[in-house]
Structure 1
């Protein structure tokens, strides 16, 4: 395939991926807002229906959260991963970013596996507790969940750095758009803000800048005389 067409396809997939990430945030925010509004509105008009209102609000929130997670996973592991894979065929420097998406998948799988094994151990411990046995199973299950979740989280975190931070700087180096660099810097600052417990806002801004920059890059690549 023509490298230029391949490159356009890769950038296009990245742009779509970041768009879906932004949509997932909007869906989550709408779900939270709708859940809160429905809860407080129902309490105002029907105070006796507090439990039903709470259940309805929680249902709305959970549905929105599940939808947001599904959209973000599709964005990450279909579009962004696919875009990095294609760009790595055009420019070998993007292979590390593609590797980052692989690490993110591995990290999530490790966390899920740890949860399954840990919950199974907790269930076994709970059964032994009812039989007057020592609750070692429950304790080992909790420890397993903590350790495996920590390991999986670290793997995912490293993959996130390679995908988003290194990816932003790689894109800036290839397409010379300062928005990529600004996004990468925001991602780095947001990592530091994790300690303060306010991480996430700058990453969202970074995603917006990445989408704008990718759209601009795509327009230039598609133009008859790319600059």
Structure 2
């Protein structure tokens, strides 16, 4: 056997072929059975999709490269659970396209960020991180105070609906109005967005400015939604996590 391996090492292409063959067997054993399982992820009954405003914030989060420094996946390790909260479930990301689990943590994990800090804190942190965290190495994002472009929200929801996200026709056609309504608690649109996405939905002036809808509104709304779309992770026991 050793002689065979020694001779194989002399043939670079043969060695590459053998590596591919062995890796393929492992891949087939791991992946092939998933195609025979009708459903691999059980979606919680209370899981809601992102609102149009949160979805716009998610796009800004991706655009600005936030995922490169922040993961959104709490692993089932005792120290991570102690720091961040319940470990992440695959079902939480069932309607995320793409998912943003990540593995790089230049900054802390954000999977359970929602409600941890106030909106004012997030606004100050995004405009000048050192104003609230003196040792922060995070870049500043002062341009997020610019108006939010909502023209593509309806198309975004329609596309996600075709991919299985449970946006109905009313949610899709109301996307622009719902984005504005979620950031205007005293407006007529506030009741509509709550009707479509739940009475517990956060509806408020996320950036503190009632005069206009900004990218800051969207991003803060998204950050405040992280870890709040379902209560499933909080129903799981955490004792004995390794």
TM-score, length-normalised on structure 1? 0.30
- Greater helix content: 1
More relative contact order, 1 or 2 (CA 8 Å, 6+ apart): 2
TM-score, length-normalised on structure 2? 0.28
